[in-house]
Amino acid sequence: MAIEITSKYLAVNKGFSKQSEKYDEEDAANPILQIWRTQVYDHVDSFIKPSSSILELNSGTGIDAVRFTKQGHNVHCVELSDGMVHEIKKKIELNNLKSSLTVQQLSYECLEEVTGKYDYVFSNFGGLNCSNKLTKITQHFHRLLKPGGIITWVIMPPICLWEISWIFKGHFKNGLRRFHKNGVMAHLEGQYFMTYYYSLNDLKKAFGKSFTLLKCEGLGALSPPPSANNFPIKHPKIYSALARLDKQLRNHFPFNRWADHIVATFQMKE
């Protein structure tokens, strides 16, 4: 199964492996992305219990995993990309985290190969949008989660007002790309692969009746995404105003569903 999935996501592996070499540097230099990470951490911190065991899906270079271990949690990372796994292992060595941080090179659609029980499942910044069927992932959670376990996914929904505004600049294809129900081709570092966009209702269906939605908030509902990282510098007053609106509206409908990403937290019923 692991070989089959790795072959299926060969382009994903290559693209993110190339990106891994510069990911941390670009992440730290992007002011919007830093604000977004803080918002996600605040969201998770409001639900997670002390000394939790976390299963993190599509862990990237381990930025979030290291942060959680420093908060006193234990993290097991599942990551497909060769380059990203290499970066996580470097962080484990540099930060002496062998006892609290582990990594398993695996697609999140092969969670049958993951063992153990976890208090929390976390996935950040749309990595799960590479899956064409979320139940391939959620079907494993009854086995992997402890009773009352919690899941937080940061995922890209179909409606993003900032992207839709592109049509007023004549970019109709990009402005409406998320509305393709059968997915859309994305590219990263010269590699092409399919991505899919999921609404909050799609998430509810994927989790089923055994899970309860605790909270959903918008991430970048009105303010620009990290790809517009120069916007705060060129238009500081406009950005500040949009950021304030985001903070006021992100927990309310429709802005907790219409955003660049949504941060959705579910709990498994005991």
pLDDT in tens, 136-155: 999 999 999 999 999 999 99
Q: Could you please state the CATH topology (level 3) that the domain comprising 2-268 is classified under.
A: Rossmann fold (3.40.50)
Amino acid at 255: F
Q: Which of 47-56, 160-169, 247-256 has the lowest mean pLDDT?
A: 160-169
CA angle, 103 as apex, 135 and 101 as ends, to 5°? Answer: 115
**Strands 191-195 and 184-188, sheet pairing:** antiparallel
pTM of the predicted model, to two decimals? 0.95
User: With pLDDT > 90 as the criterion, what percentage of the chain qualifies?
Assistant: 88
pLDDT of residue 174: 86
Give mean pLDDT, residues 163-171: 91
Least Cα distance to 187 among 5, 35, 14 occurs for 14
Select the more confidently predicted residue: 55 or 14.
55
Average pLDDT value over all residues in the chain: 94
Burial of residue 133 (number of CB atoms within 10 Å: 0-12, 13-18, 19+): exposed
Write down the domain spans for the chain: 2-268
Q: Please enumerate in sequence order all residues whose Cβ is within 8 A of that of 56, keeping only pairs 6 or more positions apart, or say none.
A: 64, 65, 68, 75, 76, 77, 78, 121, 122, 123, 124
Give the Cα separation of 154 and 159 in Å (integer). 15
Amino acid at 54: I
Whether the Cβ atoms of residue 202 and residue 236 lie closer than 8 Å to each other? no
pLDDT in tens, 181-213: 899 999 888 888 899 999 999 999 999 999 999
What angle in degrees, to the nearest 10, is found between the helix axes of 10-29 and 82-94?
A: 50
